[in-house]
Amino acid sequence: MISLRPAHERGHANHGWLDSWHSFSFADYRDDQHVHWGPLRVINEDRVAAGQGFGTHSHRDMEIISYVLEGSLGHKDSMGNAENIVPGEVQRLSAGTGITHSEFNYSTTGTTHFLQIWIIPRITGVKPAYAQKHFSAEEKRGRLRLVASPDGAEGSVSIHQDARLYAGLFDGAETAQLALAPGRLGYVHVVKGELVVNGMPLQAGDALRYRDEPLVTVERGKGAEVLVFDLPELA
């Protein structure tokens, strides 16, 4: 089974300083058909205005991944990390027993455009942890590059869940496939551009959910960037 979630069907909130699209139920957006997919709980596509951001707030027992598309995202947390995240970098925050942090667009002119991704952890109560890694465009060109995994394989950031996140850039004849083992779920989120996935033409913000399907096939991109998740079923 492959099901399409068009971009325009997502939840939307515009707070002036923040323009956000929600793939799953979040804050005031409630959709019983889109609460989570396996442990994938949140994909928020956020655009933060210049000089604005999320003030200090708390999280616990969640794996949080930030994937910046445009501009930069300033991060400060209660573990003492103070970093700037730019396109090509993946930030992972394991909230564990509890952290506080803030995220801010320090630019005076440009918008910060990023994806905030939450994954429900396999185990709770772990020590909070932080990681940030750069993945070049060359690493993602015409292939699905592993960027997050349970064991840090291939230089990916590690998360406390049996889930894997791949990122890829596709144009023209470039194509890639990802096999899904029996009992696994898949999720494809188009970050930008256009491409064809399992024969379906998709645009930025569109998503596909997979259950009982053996293969994700990505091809015929036009300035496309895509994220592909390999996920377990939740008990």
* Cβ-Cβ contacts under 8 Å for 181 (sequence gap 6 or more): none
Q: For residue 116, is pLDDT > 80?
A: yes
pLDDT tens-digit readout, 77-88: 899 999 999 999
Tokens matching residue 134: 């750069």
- Sequence ranges of the domains in the chain: 2-232
Round the average pLDDT of the chain to a whole number and report it.
96
Q: Distance between CA 189 and CA 209 in Å, rounded? A: 9
Burial class (CB in 10 A: 0-12, 13-18, 19+), 198: middle
| Rg, C-alpha atoms of the chain | 17
Residue 93: the pLDDT is 95
* 234: confidence class by pLDDT, cuts 50, 70, 90: confident
pLDDT tens-digit readout, 174-194: 999 999 999 999 999 999 999
Q: Distance between CA 166 and CA 7 in Å, rounded? A: 20
Tokens matching residue 65: 């991944």
Per-residue buried b or exposed e for 79-99, using 16+ beta carbons within 10 Å of the residue's own CB: eebeeebeebbbbbbbbbeeb
pTM for the whole structure? 0.96
Q: For residue 63, is pLDDT > 80?
A: yes
DSSP letters of 33-71?
T-S-BTTEEEEEEEEE-TT-EEEEEEE-S-EEEEEEEES
Cα-based distances in Å from 145 to 65, 136, 140, 153 = 16, 10, 5, 11
Cβ-based neighbour number of residue 176 at 10 Å: 19
Tokens matching residue 10: 């997502």
Helices (H), the chain: 137-140
The CATH number of the structural domain formed by 2-232 is 2.60.120.10
Mean pLDDT of 203-209: 98
Q: For residue 235, is pLDDT > 90?
A: no
Q: Distance between CA 119 and CA 39 in Å, rounded? A: 5
Residue 119: the pLDDT is 98
pLDDT tens-digit readout, 20-49: 999 999 999 999 999 999 999 999 999 999
* 222: confidence class by pLDDT, cuts 50, 70, 90: very high
Cβ-based neighbour number of residue 57 at 10 Å: 10
